[in-house]
């Protein structure tokens, strides 16, 4: 199914830069207020290419995409960046910290992956994309002619056949890069070019589907870019732009985490929510003595379908009555698994069906966080009226939704870690 191959990436010259100072998180999670921090960190930080700043007076001949191209070309000429000679897979380990301050590590590997339309069911999405983000990435790709940040994709590896190869190799070889960032997070990257195990991995992927975890915009943009280039060059012959840079991680063994995204409302005029007759039809409503007890309950039994509700002085756990809900779902058009997603239970059942709320109006008044303490404190210590605490989406749910050509509601998944941008750049032309 999935076609993967080694790559000859462009990488930073560690003799000329401090690698820890030139990487950054994915462009789409960097807040505007934090952009300056990465510009100040190092004059060669990848942000100048991957998330440039708009200047007053920008036009078609001088804009952030043109400037990105100029930086890229100048850094290559100065040997700040250089093209690796040997084709390799690249094994990648990244530590990360969960909201509860637990430290974990994810292991995966980078490869070029052949672009496939979603309808082929070889590479599958699970969330919606927005036009503005795709236009931005396409403009950048047209100028730089490279993938400047990787896509994160999941695969199944039940027998640890791939995981065991990766872990054995990193136990006997020194990494190409091994460094800590300012938050004491460790990053390691190995060149992996041994012919026999590399070919074994490539062949294993011919049996696999891939599930995009992060990077839907970049993936769809790469397909658009490929299609444009085919028309311009008038060729169907395979080209470098038929592939995209991905970090591939096993669902079972990589150490990746999926966090829930909690909802916080500044205004929410439903103090009488627990007494709502329709609510009690679909949920067992339990008042909880304090917010600590509520947090403990919500962190236990991740597969149970329940929602935590935090008001200023009242705390509730809403446990879904699945049998009653499934009767209601008989008339719904999608598979039951879709409506049993935590975000669907909250938005479709609680907000829309039970409370009759208008989704557009609702979303104007909402903020999101993956940190349960931040959600709770927004109500208890700040001016927010109500917080809804969710449980995480499971990996199996991501798989089922993707395989059925469905799209999850907004903010259904938040994968950790967020891959570093700047370790590898994948050229789209030789």
The reply to whether the predicted model has a pTM over 0.85 is: yes
Over 90: is that where the pLDDT of 276 sits? no
pLDDT in tens, 232-262: 999 888 999 999 999 999 999 999 999 999 9
Q: What is the model's pLDDT at position 245? A: 98
pLDDT at residue number 21: 97
CA distance to 8, 44, 84, 326, 371, per residue, from 399 (Å): 31, 39, 35, 21, 25
Question: Which string of DSSP letters, residue by residue, matches 193-258?
Answer: --HHHHHHHHHHHTT--EEEEE-HHHHHHHHHHHHHHHHHHT--S--GGGEEEEEEEETTTS--EE
* Cα–Cα distance for residue pair 146/429, rounded to 1 Å: 8
Share of the chain above pLDDT 90, in %: 79
The pLDDT score that the predictor gives to residue 217 is 92
For tokens 């709502």, name the residue: 276
Question: What pLDDT sits at residue 13?
Answer: 98
Span 25-50, mean pLDDT?
94
Q: Is the pLDDT of residue 267 over 90?
A: no
> Can you give the pLDDT at residue 30?
92
First to last CA, the chain: 26
- What pLDDT is attached to residue 210? 96
Average pLDDT over residues 163-176: 97
The pLDDT score that the predictor gives to residue 271 is 65
Instruction: Examine the pLDDT at 169 and tell me if it is beyond 80.
Output: yes
74: Cβ contacts below 8 Å, ≥ 6 apart? none
Q: What is the mean pLDDT of residues 15-42?
A: 94
For 316-365, the pLDDT digits (tens) are 999 999 999 999 999 889 999 999 999 999 999 999 999 888 877 777 88
Mean pLDDT over each residue of the chain, to the nearest integer: 93
- The per-residue pLDDT for 280 is 93
Which residue segments constitute the domains of the chain, with CATH numbers given? 4-257+416-427 (no CATH), 261-391 (3.30.1760)
- Angle at CA of residue 180, ends 175 and 183, nearest 5°: 155
Q: What share of the chain is helix, strand, coil (3-state, %, to 5)?
A: 40, 25, 35
pLDDT band at 133 (very low <50, low <70, confident <90, very high): confident
3-state secondary structure of 28: helix
| Chain length of the chain | 430
Task: Please report which confidence band the pLDDT of residue 174 belongs to, taking 50, 70 and 90 as the band edges.
Answer: very high
CA atoms of 296 and 108, how far apart (whole Å): 31
- Structure confidence by residue, pLDDT tens digits, 200-227: 999 999 999 999 999 999 999 999 999 9
The stretch 293-313 carries a mean pLDDT of 90
Average pLDDT in the 172-196 region? 96
CA angle in degrees (0–180, nearest 5) for 121-122-127: 65
């Amino acid at each position: 199914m999935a076609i993967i191959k080694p790559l000859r990436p462009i990488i930073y010259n560690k003799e000329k830069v401090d690698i820890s100072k030139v990487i950054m998180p994915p462009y789409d999670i960097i807040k505007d207020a934090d952009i300056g921090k990465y510009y100040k960190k190092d004059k060669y930080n990848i942000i100048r290419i991957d998330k440039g700043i708009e200047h007053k007076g920008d036009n078609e001949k001088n804009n952030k995409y043109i400037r990105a191209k100029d930086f890229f070309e100048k850094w290559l000429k100065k040997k700040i960046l250089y093209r690796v000679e040997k084709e390799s897979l690249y094994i990648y380990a990244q530590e990360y910290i969960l909201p509860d301050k637990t430290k974990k590590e994810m292991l995966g590997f980078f490869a070029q992956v052949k672009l496939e339309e979603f309808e082929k069911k070889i590479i599958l999405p699970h969330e919606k994309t927005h036009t503005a983000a795709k236009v931005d990435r396409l403009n950048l790709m047209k100028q730089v002619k490279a993938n400047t940040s990787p896509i994160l994709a999941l695969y199944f590896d039940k027998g640890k056949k791939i995981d065991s190869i990766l872990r054995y190799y990193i136990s006997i070889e020194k990494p190409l890069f091994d460094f800590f960032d300012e938050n004491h997070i460790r990053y390691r990257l190995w060149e992996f070019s041994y012919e026999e195990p590399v070919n074994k991995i490539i062949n294993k992927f011919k049996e696999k589907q891939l599930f995009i975890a992060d990077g839907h915009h970049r993936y769809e943009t790469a397909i658009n870019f490929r299609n444009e280039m085919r028309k311009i060059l008038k060729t169907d012959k395979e080209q470098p732009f038929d592939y995209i840079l991905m970090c591939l991680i096993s669902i079972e063994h990589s150490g990746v985490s999926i966090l829930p995204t909690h909802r916080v409302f500044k205004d929410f005029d439903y103090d009488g929510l627990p007494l709502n007759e329709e609510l009690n039809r679909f949920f067992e409503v339990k008042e909880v003595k304090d917010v600590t007890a509520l947090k403990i309950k919500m962190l236990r039994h991740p597969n149970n379908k329940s929602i935590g509700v935090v008001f200023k002085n009242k705390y509730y756990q809403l446990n879904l009555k699945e049998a009653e809900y499934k009767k209601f779902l008989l008339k719904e058009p999608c598979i039951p698994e879709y409506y049993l997603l935590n975000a669907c239970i909250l938005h479709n059942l609680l907000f829309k069906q039970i409370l009759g709320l208008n989704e557009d109006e609702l979303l104007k008044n909402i903020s999101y966080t993956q940190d349960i303490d931040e959600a709770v404190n927004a109500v208890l210590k700040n001016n927010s009226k109500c917080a809804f605490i969710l449980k995480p989406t499971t990996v199996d749910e991501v798989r089922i939704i993707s395989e059925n050509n469905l799209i999850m509601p907004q903010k259904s998944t938040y994968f950790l870690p967020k891959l570093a941008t700047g370790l590898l750049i994948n050229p789209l032309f030789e």
